[in-house]
Every structure is written in structure tokens, then in C-alpha cells.
Amino acid sequence: MAPRPDLRDGLPEGRPLRVVAVHAHPDDETLATGLALAHHVEAGDDVHVVTCTLGEEGEVITPALAHLEGDGPALAAHRRGELARAMRRLGVRHLFLGGDRPRWRDSGMAGSPASAHPRAFAGAEVDEAADLLAALLGGLQPDLVLTYDPWGGYGHPDHVQTHRVTVRAVELLGRRATGAAPRLYVALTPASWAREDRRWLARHVPAGVRSPAGGEARVPDPDDAFPPSVVADDVVTHAVVDTSALVRQRAALAEHPTQVTLHEGWYTLSNDVAARLPGREGYAVWPAARDTLARAQGGVPA
């Protein structure tokens, strides 16, 4: 397969691009799109992150901070600080959806008590949230907008909602704008990359490595199911491949210690499953990729 074009392919040359990534919680920006953000910062582009909630329901893997888990306001305040430091490491500008105090909060996983909170982001009216985001994007006038695939990477309700809200906001912006609407990309991983990453992890993750909370790192088995963001190679139309940008991405991830444990070339989250930092990210233009993705995956969420 020929190399995939970069995200700037076909966009204006001779000036910095403006890139905006929209994410659900602190740390998502660096985990899901951190390489692209770092890559565009290194290229001299103007890069922004919009975060929709403060991550009040996140699990805490740092023993010294374990008391924050379950204490929504305290954890939110701490993760706000982690996010601010990570944004400085990435070299990007940051905004919350709805102002300095986000309008919505972390919904937790589907069926959790947090999902029934009246301000749970997953329960927000899509058009209301999209109107806010469209106004924000209208002020920034981005060339590129990055967000999750329709499954939100792995199915978190706030990630899925972020996809819906971002897609709708870009639609609204296209109707209102006098110029061209921004190009919207969703993050996806080619299946061949995912298989290669598992082989790499099997060779490079030592046995017996433990997280700060005491769990032992686990390498996924070759036959373990992949998350829905791993798709057939031909669905992924664009890529950022830049191992030099890993320096910024790793530095930013290191500022999210309640959520991420970093190792050499890989990391773990609260589930202790090892994941690679490969210096590459895959994307597809939305909604152009919708039909191809639906055929490959047997449909996409509404």
C-alpha cells in the first residue's frame, strides 16, 4: 500500500495551519491525537485543544492520590492542573467547552451512577453542545478538526458523544461560514499497525513490570479482540508518522500520572494493559469515510 498522505494534504501552503482537537476528558488529547498535535506544533502550526469535561469519574492509579477517586470536584481540580501542564508540554492552546467551568461533567461508563447525573455530557442535547462548539470553532477558524471515530475509540459514552457533537458542530459551521468549513478527521488505527504493535509489545515489555497501584502490566494476546477504532487498512486514508514528535507526546503524557504510567516506548492505563507509543497515528476524513467504515464494520453508530 502506498504511504498515506499527511493531514495537511491538499490544504493551503505557505502559511501556518490552524488545528483544533476536540476531546472528552483530560489525557484523551495526548493519548488519541497527541502525536498529530505535537507534529503540527513542530511544523509551526497554530494548535488548539478543546476539552468537554474535567474527567470527574476517572480512575486514579497513583497511590498517593487514590483519595481523589470518587471525589468528583477534587479529582476535577487535580486533572485540570494535569491538563494545563500537559498542554504546555505539547505547546498547544487550550479551551474548555462552555467556558472555564465546563458546562457538562464526566458521565462515567454506561450504566454507572454518574451517567444519570443531570450534567452528564453523554446525556447533553447534541445540538446544544454543538452550537457551543460551533461558536468556539467559528472564532478559531481552524483548517483541521480532529476527534474520535463514531465508537469513541473504545466505546466510552463521552467519547461517542464528543464525536457526535463535533460532527454536528462542523456541519453547523459549514452552513454559517462564509469560507470553506474545516476538514474533519477521525482517529482510526489500521489493523496491520495494531497487529504489528502487539508483536512489538510481546518483544519489548518485560515480565513482572508493575504499575504504581501494584497491577502487573499485561501484553494483549495476539487473538484478543481489538477495539472498534482498529479498522481495515483501506479505511484509514491519512496518517501522521513522526517519531521525532514522540518527545512532546511523551512529555505531555508524563503530566497525566493519575491516568497513565509511562515506560520506554509503551504505557499502561488503569487496566494495566500495555499499549505502544509507535510514533504514528491514522485518520480518515469525515463524513467521506462513513460509508467505507460502515461496510468494513457492519454499520456505524447513529
Reading the chain (302 residues) residue by residue, the pLDDT tens digits are 678 999 999 998 999 999 999 999 999 999 999 999 999 999 999 999 999 999 999 999 999 999 999 999 999 999 999 999 999 999 999 999 999 989 999 999 999 999 999 999 999 999 999 999 999 999 999 999 999 999 999 999 999 999 999 999 999 998 876 667 899 999 999 999 999 999 999 999 999 999 998 999 999 999 999 999 999 999 999 999 999 999 999 999 999 999 999 999 999 999 999 999 999 999 999 999 999 999 988 899 87
pLDDT reported for residue 177? 63
Instruction: Write 8-14 long-range contacts (CB < 8 A, 24+).
Output: 8/43, 8/144, 9/238, 11/143, 11/144, 11/183, 12/143
8 within some domain: no
6 within some domain: no
57 within some domain: yes
160 within some domain: yes
User: Collapsing DSSP states into helix, strand and coil, what is residue 176?
Assistant: helix
* Entry pTM: 0.97
Cell (9 digits) for 167: 460532527
pLDDT reported for residue 175? 85
How many domains does one find in the chain? 1
Q: Are 268 and 36 in contact (CB under 8 A)?
A: no
Residue type, 156: H
24 within some domain: yes
Is the Cα torsion angle 19, 24, 27, 32 positive or negative in sign?
A: negative
222 within some domain: yes
11 within some domain: no
Bridge partners, residue 239, by sequence: 282
Residue type, 284: A
In terms of Cα–Cα distance, which of 275, 240, 269 is closest to 59? 269
CA distances 253 to 32, 38, 99, 269, Å, are: 11, 12, 24, 11
Give the chain's largest Cα–Cα span.
58
Range of the domain at 192: 18-286
DSSP conformation class of 232? -
In terms of Cα–Cα distance, which of 207, 211, 137 is closest to 174? 137
62 within some domain: yes
The CATH number assigned to the domain holding 94 equals 3.40.50.10320
